[in-house]
Structure 1
Amino acid sequence: MSSSVDGLVSGLSTSSMISQMMKVEAAPQTKLKAKVETAETAVTSYQSVNTKLKALKSAADAVSSMGSWRALKTNSSSESVTATAVGGLTGMTGSVKFDVTSVARAQTSLLKMSDTTAEQVFPASITIQPGTWSPDIDADGVDEFTPVGDPVNVTIPDPRKADNLTNAVNSAGAGIRAYTVTTSGTEGVVQFTSMKSGAANGFQISGLETAGTGGTGPETTSGKDAVLTMNKNTPTEYTVVSSTNTFSGVMPGVTLSVSKEESNVTVDATADTGAVADKFKALVDAANAALTEIKTQTTYDPETRKGSPLTGDFTIRQMNQAVLSMVSGGLSYDKVVGKDADENDIKETVGFGSLGQLGISLSRDGLMEFDASKFTKAYTEDPAKIQEAGMAFGSQVRALADKQSKTVTGVITGRKSEIDTLTTQIENWDVRLSSRRQALQRQYAGLETALGKLNNQSSWLSGAMGG
């Protein structure tokens, strides 16, 4: 620990002198700090470029993916039938015609109550039997119930009121929900509803046969499946069944949802050319964003004679040329045309030519442009050719962006390692400079002490001589 020694004897500003000398001593550390600052700025710029390259790779991935080219748009002739394109590799164009023979519903059983608040003649326990429903085969207007699995016993606690009954059923884990509904005054019903729709999620309740108003038992609306009758009244007629009102296997890549029974419904699925064009536009936009970022980070202003953080960085500047050359040079790619005797791929090079056929061109300002109408026209005229070339182009852009991103990542890693090394050196200089400052403070403190002693001796001698 040191103390100020300014001018105690000598009258000199020793702390100022020490500070000036420490600036000279710290010059090497100051240079190291400047290097760290420059390196950190460069790392930030590299990261900014890398973010754009990764976005370009992602956009190119979408163009090269078969799933993107299987994009569909749907149309339904009925407002009660919704057709939704879900995309993916399974998507296929086509048309289906069907009748909605039935819609799915969950089973509901009602027990009428004259007083939902009073204690009832419920038994001490009831039994819930799970099972399935099948259509009426006896022509008595009642669907047939078939027990499936083990029954569930439910104990009704005292006092045996409607709410205690519903609470006991809800806690039994039988797959049904029970609740009390007041219809008028104290009158109401206890409703039991299956948690899932469909004929396979049915149940029967034993023990409540005479527990309702006037000694009645539960009245039941059976569970039911949704059924589509395909190609009705033709040799190719068949049915598709679902426990819900959603069908996912009728058309590849399309989900159907029905809400009421209806005849002669037609659903069409066609290629969504607009969605594919949007993928290309996204790729071009991502490429332009990358090119713009590279230009921003490497530009040099001759008027101010100031450069950007990566001005003169060949690694970054050549990336710009690589992207533009890919467009200006046209497209060629290898295509597998068969197998040889050893089951190795036989490839041939396809010279597709100008990317203008895909609606892609270069503008005068060195960026890419995309003409959606030109792409759509070419794709409509020859879907197979444009799809093959488009996927090949997407794959090439993806490979280029991935390679460049890895290069930038390697540079960033190297710069960060350099920063860590410089930071360690700066910390070492902190220790060295602290020791040097303490040494100078002790030196000047000793000087002041020595001068003080000399002054005292001078005063004594002057006094002695005067005496």
Structure 2
Amino acid sequence: MGSSVDGLSSGLNTTSMITQMMQVEAAPQTKLKTKVETAQNVITSYQTVNAKLKATKSAADSLGSLGSWRALKTTSSSSSVTATAAGGLAGMTGSVKFDVSSVARSQTTVLKVADTTAEGTFPTSIMVQPGSWSTDGNGVEQFTAVGDPVEVTIPEPRKADSLTSAMNSATDANGVSLGIRAYTVTTSGSEGVVQFAGMKSGSANGFQIAGLENSGTGGTGPESTSAKDAVLTMNPGTAAEYKVTSATNTFSALMPGVTISVSKQETGVTIDAASDSKAISDKVQALVDAANAALSEIKTQTAYDPDTRTGSPLTGDFTVRQMNQAVLSLISGGLSYDKSVTANNTPTTETVNFGSLNQLGISLSRDGQLSFDSTAFAKAYADDPGKIQEAGMAFGSQVRALSDKQSITVTNVITGRKNEIDSLNEQIDNWDVRLSLRKEALQRQYAALETSLGTLKNQSSWLSGQLAGL
């Protein structure tokens, strides 16, 4: 009901009166809306803290991983040979020496043509035979056919472009591309070459073309540069000499966790892989930074300004403040951890009291923040890498467990708050119905009042008229 009854008989602004009365009636709903807004702000603050906790957990998980402690750095004695350390669990330190006896290449076959635009230059079809290349004891290259040859039909007008187009679209009996790309290169005037290039390097990716033996300039045929594998001669000149081949110029299984790439023939190449203490130190620094970010966020979300007497969304929140204390206690209390050992062929567990985290370069400042001394860590790791690795992994695992526990707690609190908001919103919706009915009742009540006043006014006017007539 939305009819206006303003002042029809009473002269009162009944719409304004109803509005003011409804504001009083809606006070409980307004309080509910305020509670929802406050709860939403609290959830946002919890989510911000939780994001920092999860970042801390991730950094701690990385530090506690064995793969992080097997980070490698590599050096090469040759500018034409690069070594890239992948590290990880498979990574191992070590050194290898080798000769680059050959580099990998794909096959290239070239046919010189007197006139690339002449029609009818080539036969109606050619045969492409896939196969592999090898070298005999005298250094002579040999081609060995592998599989069935493929016939390639050359369409009219059978000029150079017809040949290259047919080759590029040709497939074997299974519909698989031949892996050969053909193109024409103009060298002078109408003279040029038709070039066939294998798409993959390695001796196993060779081919021969039959049918073009007399199609070149002066009745010549195609000339080929064979496909080759890259070959490394390991430990050259020693009793431990052996060869390693690759269809590409990359060797990924030569050293654990190291990938080696070659670009030219060379002798006496040495690759060294050593533990990368800087990469490990960066992991510790990342954990310290993540923990500091979490501590700072907790401080911000629980801050209270005595001058303005205003707090933050989580001011006084015991759950969050306890998280702050738990992190600081973990750092200040020193490190102890359990490790598995075997005594008298019996597996058991012993507790290691590592002591102050200063031994890892980690300390606690007066303002409640962590600091990390990378120089102190590097020295400790160089003096006893096994001890520092064991302690560092244990510390990372403990921080990860704490952060995970705290994140789960915050997530549960967020879930509870969301359920609370859902309940409040349901109450707010119920109040919408209740207030709507109340407003309609007030409008009917005041409309009836105005009607009654109007009736009385009419009666008064009639009586006045009758009395005046007397």
Query: Above 0.5 in TM-score?
Result: yes
Cα deviations across residues 201-248 of structure 1 (Å, max 9, x unaligned)? Answer: 001111111111111111100000001101101010011101101111
For residue 207 of structure 1, the aligned residue among 205, 211, 227 is 211
Indicate the residue corresponding to 1:261 in structure 2: 265
Point out the more displaced range, 41-50 or 414-423: 414-423
Indicate the residue corresponding to 2:17 in structure 1: 17
Q: Which amino acid aligns with 1:215?
A: G
2:210 and 2:333 map into 1 onto residues whose CA distance is 80
| 1:120 CA displacement | 3.2
Point out the more displaced range, 20-29 or 434-443: 434-443
Q: Which amino acid aligns with 2:203?
A: A
Cα deviations across residues 283-337 of structure 1 (Å, max 9, x unaligned)? Answer: 0010010011011111122222211101111111000011011111111111100
Please, which runs of 5 or more residues in structure 2 have no aligned partner? Answer: 171-176
Q: Partner of 2:213: helix, strand, or coil? A: coil
1:153 and 1:56 map into 2 onto residues whose CA distance is 63
Contact 2:120–2:156, Cα closer than 8 Å, also in 1: no
Residue 146 (1) aligns with residue 144 (2): yes
2:302 and 2:14 map into 1 onto residues whose CA distance is 48
Contact 2:134–2:143, Cα closer than 8 Å, also in 1: yes
Indicate the residue corresponding to 1:412 in structure 2: 414
2:116 and 2:299 map into 1 onto residues whose CA distance is 78
| 1:426 CA displacement | 0.8
For residue 166 of structure 2, the aligned residue among 168, 172, 180 is 168
Map 1:6-405 → 2, pairs under 5 A: 6-137=6-137, 141=140, 143-172=141-170, 173-338=177-342, 345-405=347-407
Q: Percent identity?
A: 73
1:437 and 1:205 map into 2 onto residues whose CA distance is 94
Indicate the residue corresponding to 2:468 in structure 1: 466
Indicate the residue corresponding to 1:441 in structure 2: 443
For residue 454 of structure 1, the aligned residue among 431, 456, 462 is 456
**How many pairs are equivalent?**
463
Q: Partner of 2:253: helix, strand, or coil? A: strand
Cα deviations across residues 176-222 of structure 1 (Å, max 9, x unaligned)? Answer: 11111111111111111111001010011111111111111111000
1:192 and 1:45 map into 2 onto residues whose CA distance is 65
2:102 and 2:24 map into 1 onto residues whose CA distance is 92
Point out the more displaced range, 266-275 or 45-54: 266-275
Point out the more displaced range, 34-43 or 443-452: 443-452
Cα deviations across residues 57-104 of structure 1 (Å, max 9, x unaligned)? Answer: 000011001111111111111100011111211111111111100000
Q: Partner of 2:200: helix, strand, or coil? A: coil
Q: Which amino acid aligns with 1:129?
A: Q
Aligned-residue CA RMSD in angstroms? 1.3
1:283 and 1:164 map into 2 onto residues whose CA distance is 64
Change in Cα spacing, 1:105 to 1:68, as seen in structure 2 (3 Å) is same
1:351 and 1:150 map into 2 onto residues whose CA distance is 70
1:63 and 1:90 map into 2 onto residues whose CA distance is 17
Q: Which amino acid aligns with 2:434?
A: R
1:62 and 1:138 map into 2 onto residues whose CA distance is 55
1:137 and 1:274 map into 2 onto residues whose CA distance is 49
Point out the more displaced range, 115-124 or 397-406: 115-124
Contact 1:210–1:216, Cα closer than 8 Å, also in 2: yes
Contact 1:120–1:162, Cα closer than 8 Å, also in 2: no
Contact 1:137–1:144, Cα closer than 8 Å, also in 2: no
Cα deviations across residues 404-444 of structure 1 (Å, max 9, x unaligned)? Answer: 00000010011011111111111121121112112211211
2:467 and 2:395 map into 1 onto residues whose CA distance is 105
| 1:135 CA displacement | 1.3
| 1:39 CA displacement | 0.3
Q: Which amino acid aligns with 2:299?
A: K
2:166 and 2:336 map into 1 onto residues whose CA distance is 72
Q: Which amino acid aligns with 2:148?
A: D
1:271 and 1:236 map into 2 onto residues whose CA distance is 26
Q: Which amino acid aligns with 2:153?
A: T
Point out the more displaced range, 117-126 or 435-444: 117-126
Q: Which amino acid aligns with 1:5?
A: V
Cα deviations across residues 30-80 of structure 1 (Å, max 9, x unaligned)? Answer: 010000000000000000000000000000011001111111111111100
Q: Partner of 1:464: helix, strand, or coil? A: helix
1:416 and 1:289 map into 2 onto residues whose CA distance is 26
| 1:338 CA displacement | 2.4
1:298 and 1:390 map into 2 onto residues whose CA distance is 31
Please, which runs of 5 or more residues in structure 1 have no aligned partner? Answer: none
2:196 and 2:11 map into 1 onto residues whose CA distance is 101
1:137 and 1:222 map into 2 onto residues whose CA distance is 17
